[in-house]
Structure 1
Amino acid sequence: MTDLARVQITFTSPSGDRSSGCTEERTATAEVRLPEPLGDRDVIVDNYTRFTADGAKPPALRLCGELGCTPPATGCTTASYEQALMAVNAPDHTYRNSEKCDGKWLVLDFSWRTGPACGGSPDPACSSRLGDRWFFRAKESGWDPIFRTSAGGCQDIQRREPAFPTSLCASLAPLSPSLHPSHPPATTTP
């Protein structure tokens, strides 16, 4: 890929050898000289850690996060909803059931499959799922989770965050208890 500069860093350490006296870790700096100017390219170190010059003070690079070097702006977009799922540590293979969003506030219902792998079986356990409803506020860094509940309407969220708009929560039906066999009725984030 021409938009990347790939770097492989290899180091050796006697830290596994207790008799060497080197038994602790410390941070070190590695200087890398590229055969040509970096330009607009990002740097990939050891095939998985990405750095970018965008937003960094030269000659330094900025470490990119799980959402890449330029995370999606908070808004009513699929990429933004994916960021919200990451913010609440949603399980892998989670899918969104519905979203209500105005760009400043978000309600996100999501579920994930549970039970045995059934391969098309009509067994109800094969389609069982768990789910959550989270409420978020937009921050510069992305969606900030503020509350989780399975209740419908606005009462719970507006008790926690009075500014949450009624237009986004008034029509919310309670999440089905069958989807939440082990979930408490409401919890808050720290």
Structure 2
Amino acid sequence: MQPSTVTGARLSGDRRTLLLDTQVPSGAHACARKLKAVLTNPMTDVVRVQITFTSPSGDRASGCTEESPATVKVRLPEALGDRNVIVDNYTLFTADGAEPPALRLCGELGCTPPATGCTAASYDQALMAIGAPAHTYRNSEECDGKWLVLDISWRTGPACAGSTEPGCSSRLGDRWFFRARKSGWEPVIRTSSGGCQDVQRKEPAFPTSLCASLAPLSPSLAPSYPPAS
């Protein structure tokens, strides 16, 4: 088995021993045995590590129904240097911007997320913030660097990617308003209405210049649920 999550990473004084903090099954008996971390590939520009253990937690009768923290270490063939660390293929750590001996846990946008602003990369972060469906289209953007409006849509119907079938020509869509935060674009409200009324009821500081000319979403793009208020 692999841990449900890896919460932290740090280095020993010689920067060759990597200590990884994880969450593993726990209970009245031994629920995580043979916990170990190994390098899965030779060190290149990144260090790839896999953490494994054995556990009876798949059987609820084992009593291993909780989780507790555990730390595992792996010895590197040389100092980590400026390499990033990838654990179990999806958890990424970097020394860049971290306070030694700790490494910094990177987010969904990687270790150097795009700056919040009126850029395509930043708009992608906004889509992630609202959990937009896969293959979402950005139909339009209104942005001044501090506030953002995104009109988005996604195709409906089975297996629509690249299809010209009639059932794939329809779309569902939303209009989202955002404010800039240090961590990225933060959603303010979702609506299909035109103008500023909905957003300024929720956030009076939202600039009229970005919303006054907005038309209501067309029926083919309007969401199938009531607008947020």
Q: Return structure 1 stretches of 4+ with deviation > 3 angstroms.
A: 14-24, 116-119
Contact 2:140 2:152 in 1 (8 A): yes
Which ranges of structure 2 fall in alignment gaps of 5 or more residues? 1-42
Are 1:16 and 1:23, in contact at CA under 8 Å, matched by a contact in 2? no
Q: Deviations over 1:94-152 (max 9, x none)?
A: 1100011110000000000002446323x3x3210000000000000000100111111
* One-letter identity of the residue aligned with 2:129: A
RMSD: 2.0
- Which SS does the other structure have where 1:163 is aligned? coil
Distance 2:120 2:179 in 1: 16
Partner of residue 88, structure 1:
130
Q: Is the 8 A contact 1:111 1:129 kept in 2?
A: yes
Q: Which residue of 2 aligns with 1:187?
A: 228
Worse-matched range after superposition: 92-101 or 170-179: 170-179
- Higher strand residue share: 2
> 1:59: which partner in 2?
101
Distance 1:129 1:157 in 2: 23
> What does 1:116-127 align with in structure 2 at a 5 Å threshold?
116-117=158-159, 119-121=163-165, 123=166, 125-127=167-169
| Cα shift at 1:22 | 5.0
Aligned to 1:128: 170
The 2-side partners of 1:21 and 1:105 are apart by 50
Shift of 1:18: 6.8
**Letter paired with 1:98:** S
Opposite residue 93 of structure 2, the aligned amino acid is: F
Residue 146 of structure 2: aligned partner: 104
SS at match of 1:38: coil
Q: SS where residue 69 of structure 1 aligns? A: coil
Instruction: Name the CA shift for 1:181/1:100 in 2 (closer, same or farther; >3 Å).
Output: closer
Give the match's secondary structure for 1:158.
helix
Specify the alignment match of 1:6 in structure 2: 48
The TM-score with structure 1 as length reference comes to 0.88
The alpha carbon displacement at 1:24 in A equals 3.6
Identity %: 81
Measure the CA separation in 2 of the matches of 1:175 and 1:28. 51
Which 10-residue stretch deviates more, 45-54 or 14-23?
Answer: 14-23
1:50 is paired with a residue of what secondary structure?
A: strand
Which structure 1 segments of 5+ residues have no match?
A: none
Whole-Å separation in 2 of the counterparts to 1:18 and 1:113: 41
Higher helix share: 1
Q: When the two structures are superposed, what TM-score results if normalisation uses the length of structure 2? A: 0.74
- C-alpha distance in structure 2 between counterparts of 1:138 and 1:132, whole Å: 19
| Residue among 68, 71, 88 paired with 1:26 | 68
State the alpha-carbon separation in 1 of the partners of residues 155 and 80 from structure 2: 44
SS of equivalent residue, structure 1 residue 57? coil
Specify whether residues 4 and 181 from structure 1 end up closer, same or farther in structure 2 by C-alpha distance, changes over 3 A only: closer
DSSP 3-state at the match of 1:81: helix
Alpha-carbon distance in 2 for matches of 1:136, 1:154? 13
Count of matched residue positions in the alignment of Structure 1 and Structure 2: 185
Q: Cα deviation per residue 1:29-86 (whole Å; 9 max; x = unaligned)?
A: 1122211111111001122211111222212212211111121111011111011001
